[in-house]
Structure 1
Amino acid sequence: MQLTRFTDLGLRVLMYLTYRDRTAFVTIGEIAEQFEVPHNHLIKVVNKLGKLGWLHATRGRNGGLKLVADPQYLKLGTILRELEGSTQLIDCESPPCALKAGCRLKSALDVGLEAFYRAMDDVRLADIVAAPTGDKIVTLHHHYLSLHH
Protein backbone atom coordinates (compact mmCIF):
# COMPACT_ATOMS: atom_id res chain seq x y z
CA MET A 1 0.00 0.00 0.00
CA GLN A 2 1.25 3.46 -0.84
CA LEU A 3 -0.41 6.70 0.10
CA THR A 4 -1.30 9.08 -2.70
CA ARG A 5 0.82 12.18 -3.24
CA PHE A 6 -2.25 14.21 -2.22
CA THR A 7 -2.37 12.49 1.18
CA ASP A 8 1.38 12.81 1.61
CA LEU A 9 1.19 16.56 1.02
CA GLY A 10 -1.83 16.87 3.29
CA LEU A 11 0.06 15.22 6.13
CA ARG A 12 3.08 17.46 5.58
CA VAL A 13 0.91 20.60 5.60
CA LEU A 14 -0.82 19.60 8.82
CA MET A 15 2.49 18.69 10.45
CA TYR A 16 4.12 21.95 9.38
CA LEU A 17 1.22 23.99 10.73
CA THR A 18 1.41 22.42 14.21
CA TYR A 19 4.17 24.82 15.23
CA ARG A 20 2.09 27.12 17.44
CA ASP A 21 4.60 29.89 18.21
CA ARG A 22 4.30 31.51 14.81
CA THR A 23 3.77 35.26 14.71
CA ALA A 24 2.16 35.24 11.26
CA PHE A 25 0.19 32.96 9.00
CA VAL A 26 2.16 30.40 7.01
CA THR A 27 1.93 30.89 3.26
CA ILE A 28 1.44 28.18 0.69
CA GLY A 29 4.63 29.52 -0.88
CA GLU A 30 6.58 28.77 2.30
CA ILE A 31 5.30 25.22 2.46
CA ALA A 32 5.90 24.70 -1.26
CA GLU A 33 9.48 25.87 -0.87
CA GLN A 34 10.14 23.86 2.29
CA PHE A 35 8.93 20.58 0.79
CA GLU A 36 9.93 21.36 -2.80
CA VAL A 37 6.46 20.79 -4.24
CA PRO A 38 4.52 22.77 -6.83
CA HIS A 39 2.38 25.61 -5.49
CA ASN A 40 -0.67 24.49 -7.50
CA HIS A 41 -0.57 20.99 -5.96
CA LEU A 42 -0.69 22.52 -2.49
CA ILE A 43 -3.66 24.73 -3.32
CA LYS A 44 -5.82 21.64 -3.93
CA VAL A 45 -4.60 20.02 -0.72
CA VAL A 46 -5.13 23.18 1.35
CA ASN A 47 -8.66 23.57 -0.04
CA LYS A 48 -9.51 20.03 1.05
CA LEU A 49 -7.98 20.53 4.52
CA GLY A 50 -9.97 23.74 4.87
CA LYS A 51 -13.23 22.04 3.85
CA LEU A 52 -12.54 19.37 6.47
CA GLY A 53 -12.26 22.16 9.07
CA TRP A 54 -8.66 21.36 9.98
CA LEU A 55 -7.11 24.61 8.84
CA HIS A 56 -8.14 28.16 8.10
CA ALA A 57 -6.91 29.96 5.02
CA THR A 58 -6.94 33.75 4.79
CA ARG A 59 -6.45 35.45 1.43
CA GLY A 60 -4.55 38.62 0.81
CA ARG A 61 -1.18 40.16 1.39
CA ASN A 62 -1.02 39.25 5.07
CA GLY A 63 -2.97 36.03 4.63
CA GLY A 64 -1.94 32.45 4.86
CA LEU A 65 -2.71 29.23 6.66
CA LYS A 66 -3.36 28.40 10.28
CA LEU A 67 -4.11 25.05 11.88
CA VAL A 68 -7.47 25.14 13.66
CA ALA A 69 -7.78 21.44 14.51
CA ASP A 70 -6.28 20.44 17.83
CA PRO A 71 -3.33 18.09 17.13
CA GLN A 72 -4.11 16.30 20.41
CA TYR A 73 -7.43 15.10 19.01
CA LEU A 74 -6.84 14.76 15.28
CA LYS A 75 -6.19 11.08 14.63
CA LEU A 76 -3.92 9.91 11.85
CA GLY A 77 -6.52 7.31 10.86
CA THR A 78 -9.11 10.05 10.34
CA ILE A 79 -6.69 12.11 8.26
CA LEU A 80 -5.77 9.15 6.08
CA ARG A 81 -9.37 8.05 5.52
CA GLU A 82 -10.44 11.56 4.53
CA LEU A 83 -7.49 12.32 2.26
CA GLU A 84 -7.20 8.93 0.60
CA GLY A 85 -10.91 9.00 -0.25
CA SER A 86 -11.07 5.23 -0.66
CA THR A 87 -11.54 2.49 1.86
CA GLN A 88 -10.59 -0.39 -0.42
CA LEU A 89 -7.30 -1.53 -1.90
CA ILE A 90 -8.76 -3.23 -4.96
CA ASP A 91 -11.95 -2.79 -6.97
CA CYS A 92 -13.38 -6.05 -8.28
CA GLU A 93 -16.11 -4.25 -10.23
CA SER A 94 -14.19 -2.04 -12.62
CA PRO A 95 -13.18 -3.76 -14.74
CA PRO A 96 -15.18 -6.77 -13.59
CA CYS A 97 -12.90 -9.52 -12.31
CA ALA A 98 -13.46 -13.06 -13.56
CA LEU A 99 -12.60 -14.38 -10.08
CA LYS A 100 -15.06 -12.16 -8.23
CA ALA A 101 -17.64 -14.82 -7.41
CA GLY A 102 -15.17 -17.19 -5.75
CA CYS A 103 -12.23 -15.05 -4.68
CA ARG A 104 -11.08 -14.38 -1.14
CA LEU A 105 -8.43 -11.79 -2.00
CA LYS A 106 -10.63 -8.69 -1.61
CA SER A 107 -11.95 -9.74 1.80
CA ALA A 108 -8.42 -10.47 3.04
CA LEU A 109 -7.20 -7.09 1.81
CA ASP A 110 -10.21 -5.34 3.33
CA VAL A 111 -9.46 -6.92 6.74
CA GLY A 112 -5.82 -5.83 6.49
CA LEU A 113 -6.71 -2.29 5.48
CA GLU A 114 -9.17 -1.94 8.35
CA ALA A 115 -6.49 -3.15 10.76
CA PHE A 116 -4.14 -0.52 9.35
CA TYR A 117 -6.71 2.25 9.86
CA ARG A 118 -7.47 1.05 13.40
CA ALA A 119 -3.75 1.19 14.22
CA MET A 120 -3.55 4.70 12.75
CA ASP A 121 -6.51 5.73 14.93
CA ASP A 122 -4.20 5.22 17.91
CA VAL A 123 -1.80 7.88 16.59
CA ARG A 124 -2.58 11.59 16.89
CA LEU A 125 -1.15 14.45 14.86
CA ALA A 126 0.49 15.60 18.10
CA ASP A 127 2.28 12.25 18.34
CA ILE A 128 3.89 12.51 14.92
CA VAL A 129 5.14 16.05 15.49
CA ALA A 130 6.75 15.28 18.84
CA ALA A 131 10.53 15.58 19.05
CA PRO A 132 12.56 15.30 16.94
CA THR A 133 10.03 16.07 14.17
CA GLY A 134 8.61 19.15 15.89
CA ASP A 135 12.09 20.51 16.43
CA LYS A 136 12.84 20.09 12.73
CA ILE A 137 9.63 21.97 11.83
CA VAL A 138 10.71 24.88 14.05
CA THR A 139 14.16 24.89 12.46
CA LEU A 140 12.69 24.85 8.94
CA HIS A 141 10.37 27.74 9.74
CA HIS A 142 13.10 29.86 11.33
CA HIS A 143 15.43 29.18 8.41
CA TYR A 144 12.71 30.21 5.95
CA LEU A 145 12.09 33.44 7.88
CA SER A 146 15.80 34.28 7.99
CA LEU A 147 16.02 33.92 4.21
CA HIS A 148 12.86 35.88 3.38
CA HIS A 149 12.74 38.72 5.88
Structure 2
Amino acid sequence: MRLTIYTDFSLRSLIFLGLHRDESVTIPDIAAAFDISEHHLRKVVHRLGQIGLVETTRGRNGGLRLAKNPEEISVGAVVRLMEEDFAMVQCFGDGNCRIAGVCALQGILAEAMSAWFAVLDRYTLADAIKNPKALLRRLGLPSPAAA
Protein backbone atom coordinates (compact mmCIF):
# COMPACT_ATOMS: atom_id res chain seq x y z
CA MET A 1 0.00 0.00 0.00
CA ARG A 2 1.30 3.42 -0.86
CA LEU A 3 -0.28 6.65 0.30
CA THR A 4 -0.64 9.59 -2.06
CA ILE A 5 1.28 12.82 -1.59
CA TYR A 6 -2.09 14.37 -0.70
CA THR A 7 -2.43 12.11 2.33
CA ASP A 8 1.24 12.52 3.21
CA PHE A 9 0.86 16.32 3.19
CA SER A 10 -2.32 15.96 5.26
CA LEU A 11 -0.57 13.96 7.95
CA ARG A 12 2.44 16.30 7.97
CA SER A 13 0.15 19.34 8.24
CA LEU A 14 -1.68 17.80 11.18
CA ILE A 15 1.62 16.98 12.87
CA PHE A 16 2.80 20.57 12.40
CA LEU A 17 -0.47 21.93 13.77
CA GLY A 18 -0.28 19.50 16.67
CA LEU A 19 3.16 20.83 17.51
CA HIS A 20 1.80 24.39 17.52
CA ARG A 21 -1.38 23.92 19.56
CA ASP A 22 -1.15 27.32 21.25
CA GLU A 23 -0.70 29.43 18.15
CA SER A 24 -2.06 29.94 14.66
CA VAL A 25 0.21 28.96 11.81
CA THR A 26 0.07 29.64 8.10
CA ILE A 27 0.31 27.49 5.03
CA PRO A 28 3.69 29.09 4.21
CA ASP A 29 4.90 28.10 7.72
CA ILE A 30 4.02 24.46 7.09
CA ALA A 31 5.33 24.47 3.52
CA ALA A 32 8.67 25.96 4.60
CA ALA A 33 9.10 23.53 7.50
CA PHE A 34 8.63 20.49 5.26
CA ASP A 35 9.96 22.04 2.03
CA ILE A 36 6.74 21.22 0.19
CA SER A 37 4.56 23.04 -2.32
CA GLU A 38 2.29 25.76 -0.92
CA HIS A 39 -0.03 25.25 -3.90
CA HIS A 40 -0.65 21.58 -3.07
CA LEU A 41 -0.79 22.34 0.63
CA ARG A 42 -3.62 24.84 0.12
CA LYS A 43 -5.77 22.09 -1.39
CA VAL A 44 -4.90 19.75 1.48
CA VAL A 45 -5.68 22.32 4.17
CA HIS A 46 -8.94 23.21 2.46
CA ARG A 47 -10.00 19.55 2.61
CA LEU A 48 -8.85 19.20 6.23
CA GLY A 49 -11.06 22.17 7.01
CA GLN A 50 -14.03 20.67 5.17
CA ILE A 51 -13.82 17.45 7.18
CA GLY A 52 -13.53 19.32 10.48
CA LEU A 53 -9.92 18.63 11.42
CA VAL A 54 -8.56 22.13 10.86
CA GLU A 55 -10.02 25.55 11.70
CA THR A 56 -9.08 28.39 9.43
CA THR A 57 -9.25 32.08 10.23
CA ARG A 58 -8.91 34.70 7.53
CA GLY A 59 -7.41 38.13 7.91
CA ARG A 60 -4.35 39.81 9.33
CA ASN A 61 -4.13 37.64 12.43
CA GLY A 62 -5.55 34.60 10.70
CA GLY A 63 -4.12 31.19 10.31
CA LEU A 64 -4.69 27.52 10.94
CA ARG A 65 -5.31 25.51 14.08
CA LEU A 66 -6.37 21.99 14.87
CA ALA A 67 -10.14 21.79 15.30
CA LYS A 68 -9.80 18.81 17.66
CA ASN A 69 -7.37 17.63 20.27
CA PRO A 70 -4.59 15.43 18.87
CA GLU A 71 -5.93 12.52 20.95
CA GLU A 72 -9.19 12.72 18.99
CA ILE A 73 -7.66 12.51 15.52
CA SER A 74 -7.28 8.92 14.36
CA VAL A 75 -4.51 8.26 11.86
CA GLY A 76 -6.68 5.58 10.23
CA ALA A 77 -9.60 7.97 9.87
CA VAL A 78 -7.39 10.63 8.27
CA VAL A 79 -6.05 8.13 5.75
CA ARG A 80 -9.57 6.92 4.89
CA LEU A 81 -10.82 10.49 4.45
CA MET A 82 -7.91 11.70 2.36
CA GLU A 83 -7.32 8.73 0.04
CA GLU A 84 -9.66 8.28 -2.89
CA ASP A 85 -8.93 4.72 -3.90
CA PHE A 86 -7.94 1.60 -2.01
CA ALA A 87 -8.16 -0.75 -4.98
CA MET A 88 -4.84 -2.54 -4.60
CA VAL A 89 -5.36 -4.74 -7.64
CA GLN A 90 -7.71 -4.68 -10.61
CA CYS A 91 -10.29 -7.02 -9.07
CA PHE A 92 -10.85 -4.47 -6.26
CA GLY A 93 -11.78 -1.81 -8.78
CA ASP A 94 -13.77 -2.54 -11.89
CA GLY A 95 -13.63 -6.32 -11.50
CA ASN A 96 -12.21 -6.71 -14.97
CA CYS A 97 -10.09 -9.76 -14.20
CA ARG A 98 -10.36 -13.10 -15.98
CA ILE A 99 -9.99 -15.13 -12.78
CA ALA A 100 -12.20 -12.96 -10.53
CA GLY A 101 -14.51 -15.10 -8.46
CA VAL A 102 -12.30 -18.18 -8.49
CA CYS A 103 -9.05 -16.61 -7.27
CA ALA A 104 -8.55 -16.18 -3.53
CA LEU A 105 -6.18 -13.23 -3.93
CA GLN A 106 -8.93 -10.61 -3.54
CA GLY A 107 -9.89 -12.01 -0.13
CA ILE A 108 -6.25 -12.27 0.97
CA LEU A 109 -5.53 -8.66 0.01
CA ALA A 110 -8.78 -7.46 1.62
CA GLU A 111 -7.72 -9.17 4.86
CA ALA A 112 -4.29 -7.53 4.64
CA MET A 113 -5.85 -4.10 4.11
CA SER A 114 -8.16 -4.64 7.09
CA ALA A 115 -5.15 -5.51 9.24
CA TRP A 116 -3.31 -2.42 7.96
CA PHE A 117 -6.23 -0.17 8.91
CA ALA A 118 -6.58 -1.92 12.28
CA VAL A 119 -3.03 -0.82 13.08
CA LEU A 120 -3.60 2.75 11.84
CA ASP A 121 -6.82 2.94 13.86
CA ARG A 122 -4.91 2.22 17.08
CA TYR A 123 -2.97 5.46 16.73
CA THR A 124 -3.85 9.12 16.98
CA LEU A 125 -2.10 12.33 16.07
CA ALA A 126 -1.01 12.52 19.72
CA ASP A 127 0.97 9.31 19.20
CA ALA A 128 2.69 10.84 16.18
CA ILE A 129 3.83 13.91 18.14
CA LYS A 130 5.00 12.20 21.34
CA ASN A 131 8.47 13.72 21.00
CA PRO A 132 7.68 17.37 20.16
CA LYS A 133 11.09 18.83 21.00
CA ALA A 134 12.88 16.41 18.68
CA LEU A 135 10.32 16.97 15.91
CA LEU A 136 10.64 20.74 16.17
CA ARG A 137 14.44 20.49 16.24
CA ARG A 138 14.40 18.28 13.12
CA LEU A 139 12.20 20.88 11.38
CA GLY A 140 14.64 23.60 12.42
CA LEU A 141 12.04 25.31 14.58
CA PRO A 142 12.33 26.60 18.14
CA SER A 143 10.57 24.67 20.88
CA PRO A 144 7.66 26.54 22.48
CA ALA A 145 9.66 27.05 25.70
CA ALA A 146 12.40 28.81 23.76
CA ALA A 147 10.01 31.03 21.84
Aligned 8 A contact 1:10 1:49 in 2? yes
Task: Kindly report which structure 2 residues correspond to 1:86-97, keeping only aligned pairs within 5 A, or say none.
Answer: 86-92=85-91, 93-94=93-94, 96-97=96-97
Distance 1:22 1:73, change over 3 A: closer
Q: How far did 1:104 drift?
A: 1.4
Q: How far did 1:62 drift?
A: 2.1
User: Is 1:135 aligned with 2:133?
Assistant: yes
Deviations 1:4-33 (A, max 9, x none): 11110000000000124544x100001111
Aligned residue pairs: how many?
A: 140
> Counterparts of 2:85 and 2:15 in 1: how far apart (Å)?
22
User: Is 1:113 aligned with 2:124?
Assistant: no
> Counterparts of 2:28 and 2:5 in 1: how far apart (Å)?
18
Q: How far did 1:101 drift?
A: 2.7
Amino acid aligned to 1:30: D
Amino acid aligned to 1:74: I
Aligned 8 A contact 1:72 1:125 in 2? yes
Distance 1:2 1:21, change over 3 A: closer
Aligned 8 A contact 1:16 1:137 in 2? no
> Counterparts of 1:87 and 1:78 in 2: how far apart (Å)?
14
Q: How far did 1:124 drift?
A: 1.2
Task: Kindly report which structure 2 residues correspond to 1:15-54, keeping only aligned pairs within 5 A, or say none.
Answer: 15-20=15-20, 22-23=22-23, 25-54=24-53
> Counterparts of 2:48 and 2:121 in 1: how far apart (Å)?
18
Greater mean deviation of Cα atoms: 92-101 or 121-130? 92-101
Amino acid aligned to 1:63: G
| Percent identity (aligned) | 34
Alignment gaps of 5+ in structure 1: 144-149
> Counterparts of 1:95 and 1:110 in 2: how far apart (Å)?
14
Amino acid aligned to 1:113: M
What's 1:62 paired with? 61
Aligned 8 A contact 1:17 1:26 in 2? yes
Amino acid aligned to 1:117: F
**Structure-2-length-normalised TM-score:** 0.85
Aligned 8 A contact 1:77 1:121 in 2? yes
> Counterparts of 2:95 and 2:35 in 1: how far apart (Å)?
36
Aligned 8 A contact 1:6 1:45 in 2? yes
Q: Over aligned residue pairs, what C-alpha RMSD do you find?
A: 1.9
**Structure-1-length-normalised TM-score:** 0.84
> Counterparts of 2:16 and 2:47 in 1: how far apart (Å)?
16
